[in-house]
A and B are shown apart, each in its own frame.
Chain A
């Protein structure tokens, strides 16, 4: 196979092995197992083995399946929209704000919509931070306002205007039926309607967020799970400087 073509790796290069688990609305029976196998084959897998089948409700069966993926992907075609700036640490960031901005950096953050989880926004903003990396509240050069959860888009924007924010951080942690897309779209539409899109660096974070998705929706950047506060702060400073260079 061409060296640029890749497939999932089980224990040999290009074996294509993946692990799947799912439920079918079928009573557990030989027919259900066969249905699981045929369904996975429709997904373009081969050498399918249904290793586990268990009734988990009246008329529903849960499966664990191993199978080999058929298609290969040309890695040359993969061009992610990565955040390319340098990752600075706490001290470097504070120094940079002091020297280049010559005032405090203001950041307003919230979890919007009905999501009650503050884990994401707290990890980035609270004093304590995440994984031994201080949160934005701890930065002497940053005014960080964490509005918590279940904040409306209107309130978040109003707060950003009142506090003269440089950046708005939006978190979406636990979502259902793609509610996060709905919420994030609502916020961006509101900001656009107020003609304020260029006023702020708009950042979104959450376990289901990729940078690509964020950019597609009109945000400046998106951060996924395990993001450190200093990564977010580095990005804000990078972007602010880039914007300044352009004007």
Chain B
């Protein structure tokens, strides 16, 4: 692949700075837990279902413990004690607790050792769920030829999961490798996961475990027909980050939008909540081999793509460092960036190439996620279709890995079925005719592209050292990312964050940390 001459020492320095920022942040993260982390533990222990008021049992149980002010110790031991008491499976135990038939929030007089043994048994089962999902996916993928990059990522968003199936199979027929079911807007702000199959949503379809199952089954069939593995994506970012990761594991999802800062900046979710949640969520993704997608592209929809390109680079470096801390390997890091420069700027395409190539060279082994133009998409769909063609060219030329399909009607409505077909035809055409272009060209030394890439790198370096001085939380509070200020103790979900007491127990987290990167 063509390479821009970059200063490797500078790159090492940038990565080191990002590492230090992540370490600083972990001084905080490691001492705290959240209600969604505790609910994830319950779900992995086997708690599922809802009560009469349609509230998930995982939420009910955590609420009870919170009311009794003993959440600081973690829910694991209390639930274990309840299981010993009921002598039933996790789901029935949860129902009995919720109906008030079992005491909850005490150790019920069981010995420390007895609790510990039962906790270990439950943890073994939980870890097995993560390992099984990983193995299931590997087995399915092996049945098909190795995928050809960039992978074609297409969204479906009808609101009705059954209608989404049809849209997805149509997209696969047109060449999609990845199907993302866009979530119903504002689901990221729900502090619980809706339950069961859903047929109504706004601008998307609710992320529920049952919806995951329905779509994964449809894509398994589509994979067989298309003779290539079709990946399924959903969205974890929000108030339920680790819980959605658990549901995704249960249904063998391949990718999750899982950004360490997106919820804070763009959904006004409290930063403490997000940082703690993203860590446990990513540990789960690492073990089950779910590729995370990060949301740097969003910075460029609110601030200028030239002026603020360095914030994308800086955020990628931070997401990488936090991801590695959560045991994610390069093949699971779908770091985001986007083709969002104002098309009226002369040589905008060259700057886009500089940005895309820079990302590629900074993270050569990562599965970079490249986003299409949205901000300057015109309601003249034919003009927008041309923009997408150039975006497609930039992607194949710079060897991006996950390519989100640009759609000509982006500026006016959620895509219609034939607009997905038009979009994929455009991608197929460009990817095919320019497949090896990146291997045939060189970037001119001191040319426009090289100079631009260097400039972004220099700006990112200054920015990261600034962040390191104050810490990431203060930097966000200061409005350093996307020109949005979020106070450390502001935003939604702060009441679900708590300091762990010395006797805190989360045996799943402990085990995942202890066993490190596991593959095979």
Contacts and interface: CB of A to CB of B under 8 A. Distances in A.
A binds B: yes
Interface of A: 21-23, 54-58, 60, 62, 113-116, 118-119, 122, 128, 131, 150, 173-177, 179, 207-208, 225
B335 to A, nearest CB: 22
A114 B411 contact: no
26 contacts: A21-B418, A55-B173, A56-B174, A57-B169, A58-B173, A62-B417, A62-B421, A114-B186, A114-B202, A114-B203, A116-B185, A116-B186, A116-B203, A118-B302, A119-B375, A122-B302, A128-B304, A173-B411, A174-B411, A174-B413, A176-B413, A176-B414, A207-B379, A208-B412, A208-B413, A225-B378
A175 B379 CA distance: 13
B203 A56 contact: no
Interface in B176-213: 184-186, 202-203
Given A176-B413, A179-B202, A56 B173 contact: yes
Majority SS at the chain B contact face: loop
Interface residues of B, number: 29
The A contact surface, by secondary structure, is: loop
Contacts of A175: 413
Contacts of A208: 412-413
Nearest to A123: B375
A128 B184 CA distance: 30
Contacts of A179: 202-203
B473 to A, nearest CB: 21
Contacts, number: 71
Interface string B289-306: 000000000000110100
B186 A58 contact: no
Q: Which of B174, B184, B344 has the most CB of A within 10 A?
A: B174
A115 B203 contact: yes
Nearest to A131: B344
A114 B170 contact: no
Nearest to A113: B202
Contact of B418 (A23, A118, A119): A23
Interface string B399-421: 00000000000111110111001
B166 interface: yes
B263 interface: no
Given A128-B304, A174-B414, A58 B169 contact: yes
Given A22-B418, A23-B417, A207 B411 contact: yes
Nearest to B170: A57
B203 A176 contact: yes
Given A55-B173, A60-B417, A114-B184, 17 more contacts: A21-B418, A22-B418, A56-B417, A56-B421, A58-B169, A62-B417, A114-B186, A115-B203, A118-B301, A119-B374, A119-B375, A128-B304, A150-B186, A174-B412, A179-B203, A207-B379, A225-B378
Contacts of A56: 170, 173-174, 417-418, 421
B159 interface: yes
Contacts of A62: 417-418, 421
B163 to A, nearest CB: 12
A56 B173 CA distance: 7
